[in-house]
Amino acid sequence: MGKIKVVHYINQFYAGIGGEDKADIVPMEIEGVKGPGMGLKQLFGDDAEIVATVVCGDSYFGENIDEATATVLEMIKKHEPDVVITGPAFNAGRYGVAAGAVAKAVSEELGVPTVSGMYTENPGADMFKKFTYMIETRNSAVGMKDALAKIAPLALKLARGEAIGTGEEEGYLERGVRVNTFVEERGAKRAVNMLMAKLNGEAFETEYPMPVFDRVDPAPAVKDITKARIAIVSSGGPVPKGNPDRIESSSASKYGRYSIEGISDLTEENGETAHGGYDPCYANEDLDRVIPVDVLREMEVAGEIGSLHNYYYTTVGNGTSVANSKAYAADMVKFLKEDNVDAVIMTST
């Protein structure tokens, strides 16, 4: 075959159009190679050419997913690509869902192979990994070089119809797709060998890893809410005015513990949100919309709860990894126990 034709789908940020202020742009084609496409172009050399770059704002796509998918699909279809690349989206949730939805539609409706790239905790990864080859990336664009170095050769293989190796070999997330393979030893013998290795405390590798689900037993109900001390924990990014600890708007590397002693109402003067994953205007006008300090103070005065704890705990859920979130929670729990908190109200966005 001649030079491989590639269409690249990216969001408004990587297209250089803007950030959250441009997240509502409608699908469009832009001239030339943009953002990660520049790296792909170098990696492709003379083997492939990005013939079109299709862009859509993350918010617009998420709020108009059927219409946006159809429009993007038409833009891609007219170029008759040999392979379509979406992203990589790393740990950006809305971008990941959009990139996955586009890849799924291209694969199913156009019959064109697709490659994407995401962090394993991106919601788009779990939703769409069985519909596309999804290179496993780091949780931010710091891992761009490594991601593109795996995306480019896999895209070329798919376009040429070459055999694709396992996820471990090619660097993509396991898709949950079973294929028949021939090996030297039959299954019964391999199973017994694994069992013996396990019984003897030796290393072995299962051929069918089972999913691990994090299950948490619910705590007992509060016996008497009128005597309970209530605390607030939020992933919506509420912080004192000025964000004193500089909690990041995405992929937070820290959490905050802030006093609300003597405060019965959150206003533009004493609070704001650090969150970068939603329009902050309404939260910045009245942070009680994110953490209900005003209502809980009223309930405290009315005797409907025992008391409102004088500290609230906060971080940003936008792009923050599960591992970091667990670490923050473990730290918060120490404070909550020391302060004899009976129950926690958890808010998001």
CATH number of 135's domain: 3.40.50.2300
Give the Cα-Cα-Cα angle 42, 47, 51 (nearest 5 degrees).
Answer: 75
| Tens-digit pLDDT profile for residues 95-145 | 999 999 999 999 999 999 999 999 988 888 888 999 999 999 998 899 999
110 and 245 share one domain:
no
- The pLDDT mean for the chain works out to 92
In a domain, 106, yes or no: yes
Backbone angles phi, psi at 98, to 5 degrees: -65, -45
pLDDT surpassing 80 at residue 89: yes
Strands (E), 127-183: 133-136
Q: How many domains does the chain have?
A: 2
Distance between CA atoms of residues 72 and 56, nearest Å: 8
pLDDT of residue 2: 80
Distance between CA atoms of residues 322 and 324, nearest Å: 5
In a domain, 137, yes or no: yes
266 and 166 share one domain:
no
Domain that holds residue 43: 4-170
pLDDT surpassing 70 at residue 1: no
In a domain, 178, yes or no: no
pLDDT surpassing 70 at residue 217: yes
Distance between CA atoms of residues 272 and 239, nearest Å: 6
Please report where in the chains the tokens 């709020």 appear, as a residue. 63
pLDDT of residue 36: 96
Distance between CA atoms of residues 1 and 161, nearest Å: 11
Tokens of 56: 């859509």
DSSP SS3 for 347? strand
Type of residue at 244 = P
Backbone angles phi, psi at 100, to 5 degrees: -70, -40
158 and 35 share one domain:
yes
Looking at the chain, how many residues does it have?
349
In a domain, 175, yes or no: no
Distance between CA atoms of residues 51 and 2, nearest Å: 14
Poorest-pLDDT segment among 71-80, 139-148, 311-320: 311-320
CA atoms within 13 A on the CB side of 75: 23
Poorest-pLDDT segment among 52-56, 268-272, 324-328: 324-328
In a domain, 164, yes or no: yes
149 and 244 share one domain:
no
28 and 142 share one domain:
yes
pLDDT of residue 146: 96
In a domain, 208, yes or no: no
Backbone angles phi, psi at 231, to 5 degrees: -115, 160
131 and 53 share one domain:
yes
pTM for this entry: 0.66
| Tens-digit pLDDT profile for residues 260-318 | 999 999 999 999 999 988 889 999 999 999 999 999 999 999 999 999 999 999 999 87
Reported as type and span, the H/E element at residue 54 is strand 48-56
> How large a percentage of the chain has pLDDT more than 70?
99
163 and 245 share one domain:
no
